[in-house]
Amino acid sequence: MTKLSELGPPNLGREPAAELDHFYVCRNCGQLVDRRDLRQVIWHQNPEHERLEFDS
C-alpha cells in the first residue's frame, strides 16, 4: 500500500469547500477520490494502481 503522504504534500491554497461534490469513485479500484487533491487524482489515473492508504 502506498501512503497518501508518500506522494507529497497536498495542494495548498485551495478552498476547504463543501464536501461531496469533490469526490468521485475510481473505476479501477472503487475507492473514493477527492478531486481537490491532485495526488489522489493522478494516482487513480494510473491504470495499474492499487488503493491508497490514508493517514488517519
**How distant, in Å, are the alpha carbons of 4, 9, 12, 15, 35 from that of 26?**
16, 21, 23, 23, 11
Q: Is 38 in the site for Zn ion (CB under 5 A)?
A: no
% helix, strand, coil for the chain, step of 5: 25, 20, 55
- Judged by CB under 5 A, the stretch of 3-11, 13-21, 28-36 that binds Zn ion is 28-36
Task: Tell me which of 7, 10, 24, 26 binds Zn ion, using CB under 5 A.
Answer: 26
Query: By Cβ distance, which residue is nearest to Zn ion?
Result: 26
Residue ranges binding Zn ion (CB under 5 A): 26, 28-29, 31, 44
